[in-house]
């Protein structure tokens, strides 16, 4: 199970650290791996501040739907503020993948539909050296990254 964290408003590092701490404090998840933070250029959006992104690998007994609900509750409890779709935000917590689970419902899409086309997700995911394979594309994060045409810059901190 992998969550993507992002923020481009306020104290971005504090938002990411707060989200990880909040998730662990619930007792429902354990962080098995954490990428470093990356400064990432916004793509598919109007001009806005750069993001700080990070990926967390988790261990949990929660179902995919329950994990998504927990991620959304983290955003809510930490006072998420955003300005429209793809707009600036204090905190974004996305469920990127849940093992080999494939789900396509109005509420939950797994793997995350943008995962294979966004460097801001693939670079930190590949850093974790996961052996996970995209269940629809059959590629590892490193292979997805090699094939990714996203022009957005992703800079390690």
- CA distance linking residue 61 with residue 90, whole number of Å: 28
Mean pLDDT of the chain: 94
Cis peptide bond N-terminal to 120, omega within 30: no
Q: What is the pTM of this model?
A: 0.94
> CA nearest 62: which of 37, 22, 29?
29
Spell out the domain ranges in the chain: 2-156
Confidence of residue 64 (pLDDT cuts 50, 70, 90): very high
Q: What is the pLDDT of residue 125?
A: 97
Backbone angles phi, psi at 80, to 5 degrees: -50, 135
> CA nearest 136: which of 108, 111, 106, 107?
111
CATH homologous superfamily, domain 2-156: 7,8-Dihydro-6-hydroxymethylpterin-pyrophosphokinase HPPK (3.30.70.560)
Residues 60 and 82 sit within 8 Å (Cβ to Cβ):
no
Confidence of residue 10 (pLDDT cuts 50, 70, 90): very high
pLDDT digits (tens, 9 = 90+) for 72-131: 999 999 988 767 777 889 999 999 999 999 999 999 999 999 999 999 999 999 999 778
Region 49-54: what's the mean pLDDT?
97
116 three-state secondary structure: helix
CA angle 150–20–80, rounded 5-degree value? 75
Backbone angles phi, psi at 125, to 5 degrees: -65, -45
């Amino acid at each position: 199970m992998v969550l993507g964290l992002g923020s481009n408003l306020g104290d971005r590092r504090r938002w990411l650290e707060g989200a990880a701490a909040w998730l662990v404090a619930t007792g429902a998840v354990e962080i098995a791996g954490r990428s470093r933070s990356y400064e990432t250029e916004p793509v598919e959006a109007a001009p806005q501040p750069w993001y700080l992104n990070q990926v967390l690998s988790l261990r949990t007994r929660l179902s995919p739907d329950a994990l998504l609900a927990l991620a959304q509750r983290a955003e809510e409890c930490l006072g998420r503020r955003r300005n429209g779709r793809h707009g600036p935000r204090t905190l974004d917590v996305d469920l990127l993948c849940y093992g080999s689970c494939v789900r396509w419902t109005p509420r939950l899409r797994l793997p995350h539909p943008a995962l294979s086309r966004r460097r801001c997700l693939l670079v930190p995911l590949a850093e974790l050296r996961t052996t996970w394979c995209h269940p629809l594309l059959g590629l590892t994060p490193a292979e997805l990254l090699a094939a990714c045409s996203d022009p957005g810059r992703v800079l390690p901190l």
